[in-house]
A and B are shown apart, each in its own frame.
Chain A
């Protein structure tokens, strides 16, 4: 007989998320994914000056703030009919790229890793590494609750591996903080970059700013190449079954992003449905509301019949699509990522828990390489921003197609006489975490279905947690 097992709240993610599963004979047979928080960004921006969205829209999420800033600024630039100078675009890429790498680091080490490694093993450390000695003493004596109470599971328990991973858990926080200083040099501060305006970046960039950025980038790239990618590969080697768990519809979608000075994109845009690659057509995107807490006009309604999530259900020609690094590589049919998956017996880029984890590590390597080259496109003494009247009573529409760590991102602004009349965001986690609609389960709901559940208990299933976290849930974003 089927039993219900919930993970509510899902921790180590951004936001408020509930996962409810039905389990029959040790396998998830049905899943419901619910976003459990709402603020109403699209509606609170109504009536404000469109430029305000460059500041307010970043506050959708404190984890992936820059990406919303860039997306809304891109939409504003369409309304203002302004293109940033070359330097403005270089700086924007330098911010966005480094940000995405730090986002992937947070995801792998601080959010996902505790699902795979048993940190308590490090308590037994008796060697001479002072950092590990400190960590070991801390785990033994500190009474620190947040690292306790992990769900039952088949964790990595061999000492050497755990020692290394635990060290990297803390190292990742340190690298992220250093990378943040690189982002702040260009943008003023993080989270929430205020130097980002329609038309470019306001900051004065001097030779020493670039050198400091470069220094931070080198440190980050070093960690990505020597720790992140090897650690992700090790997790993949130890949990090969997760290449078969967490598969979605294998329908993907990505935007183009990260152009170089020759005009070549690091990622191209496209949609894959039924194994066929098509060009992306924005007019084919619809957000369905039948299982979401909104009435038919889009107003919030917490008591809506049949609704179970604050997330809407986006569909492309009726299909739910997966977004994120795997989608970017699938759409680009990326040879490097294919060969990486090939090491684990895959011939194609398909969606799975482990392919998502590997894709983030591999993408971080690619982005660091890209950033080294891209930062050389910056020309000292040339403009970084074009003047824009930030209070002009502008009228028009703009769409910003940008990229976030978690996938393709759209900000769509309609303005009349200097007031926002419509603001629409279609956010990566909306695609992945949207509920069922028209008889089709949402992307993550589909991914969880079929997951074998060997462990349970009051912590819920570690297996389901692994599948869910592999998408890097950003629930504040998905609901907004």
Chain B
């Protein structure tokens, strides 16, 4: 466990890692100090049609540490995978946090609106229950691609009518900003960093379409450690031999997916998909898991349907 001093130092490091700039970091560290003293927000988690992957990813952590997060930054009230209570008393705890309000509500997974019994919260359907938990929340976070866009449950024929948190809110008339942190699963820094920002500044982070631009502002391709191979036209053909090459001809979706995976990395920053010689599958992309084949192999880069670099570079140029 960290001492208070170590913790503050750590906060500064997180802030720098998460927000990029020292000055910004210092401001947040100050916020952290206030929070560490007392005012830590209540946080409840609700899981819809989820696989728990986002929560598991959080507990793994990256630069951010989950234990510090729950012990020093927030007051975790309800979490389906961690709560010591069960059954009725679990639901009562959830109800009492939502009734008081002012909490951060995190929704993991999508919500079935056609086949409502495809996701229950106790005796009631999630569809009927979720609204009351959202109404008084001070912030709602859609945690992962399923809650941001529908994700896997909404793919294919979508028998259950799975929708995103935002869609659910517009259907049930809840007007409130939602912070969307996509990912299948979410990358832990992006979640914990966003919550830290909220706490420290009392403001929503800079967002585009509800997605924090800090983490999701730039195409993966542009910061890819293998960009040099792309610019030299060195492409992977054989997974076994060409360990140092660009994966675009294997269907890498880094060119249409905005996230900071290449620089932020995963699991103690030890690796990231592309570094392991596996094409980016675009798991933070709004369209994930896509309707086309995940691995579209092409002889020429131009044959990859999403290799329209010109469009992207022009867009960027115009800004």
Contact = CB atoms under 8 A, between A and B. Distances in A.
Pairing of A with B: yes
Interface of A: 6-16, 18, 36-41, 43-49, 51-52, 55-56, 59-63, 65, 110-111, 114, 119, 130-131, 134-135, 138, 142-151, 170, 173-174, 176-178, 180-181, 183-192, 194-195, 197, 199-200, 202-204, 212, 293, 299-300, 302-303, 310, 383-387, 389-391, 457-460, 465, 476
A192 B272 CA distance: 11
A460 B115 contact: no
Contact of B79 (A146, A174, A194): A146
B85 A150 contact: yes
B184 A197 contact: no
B191 to A, nearest CB: 14
Interface in B151-191: 152-153, 155-160, 162, 184-185
B295 A390 contact: yes
B136 interface: no
B270 to A, nearest CB: 5
Given A38-B115, A63-B56, A110-B82, A173 B66 contact: yes
B66 A177 contact: yes
Contacts of A8: 87-88, 122-123
B87 A460 contact: yes
Interface size class of B (residues with CB under 8 A): 35 or more
B175 to A, nearest CB: 27
Given A302-B115, A459-B86, A13 B278 contact: no
Interface string B118-157: 1111110000000000000000000000000000110111
Given A59-B51, A192-B185, A7 B86 contact: yes
A49 B290 CA distance: 12
Given A61-B51, A385-B240, A188 B118 contact: no
B59 interface: yes
Contact of B87 (A7, A114, A181, A299): A7
A299 B92 CA distance: 35
B296 A391 contact: yes
Interface string B76-93: 111111111111111111
B276 A187 contact: yes
Interface string B40-84: 101000010111111111011100011100110001111111111
Interface of B: 1, 3, 40, 42, 47, 49-57, 59-61, 65-67, 70-71, 75-93, 97, 112, 115-123, 152-153, 155-160, 162, 184-185, 238-240, 243, 250-251, 266-268, 270-273, 275-279, 281, 283, 289, 293-297
Given A9-B122, A183-B267, A149 B85 contact: yes
B156 A46 contact: yes
Contacts of B118: 37-39, 300, 302, 310
The residue among A12, A49, A135, A183 with the most chain B CB atoms within 10 A of its own CB is A12
Given A9-B122, A51-B293, A177 B61 contact: yes
Nearest to B70: A144
B87 A65 contact: no
Contact of B275 (A56, A110, A131, A188): A188
A177 B60 contact: yes
B84 A119 contact: yes
B9 to A, nearest CB: 16
